[in-house]
Amino acid sequence: MLEKLADAGYGKQELESIQNLINAEKSDLFDVLEYISFAHRPITREARVADAKESIYSGLDEKQKEFIQFVLAQYIDAGVGELDQEKLPHLLRLKYHALPDAMTILGTTDRILSTFVGFQKHLYQQSAA
């Protein structure tokens, strides 16, 4: 979708300008698009995490929770780019200093990837009101 918007003249820079205009610097571009499309008030990444925390941690063991807490802190500080799968090895090294250490703590690469990708769907689910 972002590629289509960029082709239409609304690339990342233009969307970030809109993000600044609506005082949503600590929100995701998703929130900017929701604001444009539906006049939904943007929420901060921190509020998004707080709203989804219970469902994010459901089914995770303590070591997985600790890693996801670390990832969420990076997301809150730096934005949605931290949730890209390409960032996973960097995040693992940042947290555990070496990929083998991360695997010893968190399990197989498939399990780590599943945990990393799996929690993200909860961030953007609408909570039942």
Cα dist from 9 to 16, 27, 95, whole Å: 13, 22, 38
- Tell me which amino acid residue 3 is: E
pLDDT at position 77: 96
Query: Is the predicted pLDDT of residue 127 greater than 80, yes or no?
Result: no
Specify the pTM: 0.86
- 101 within 8 A of 73, measured Cβ to Cβ: no
| Tens of pLDDT, residues 21-73 | 999 999 998 888 888 889 889 999 999 999 999 999 999 999 999 999 999 99
Give me the residue spans of the domains in the chain. Answer: 2-38, 45-124
pLDDT at position 55: 94
**Where does residue 126 rank: exposed (0-12), middle (13-18), buried (19+ CB within 10 A)?**
exposed
pLDDT at position 126: 65
Percent of the chain with pLDDT over 70: 96
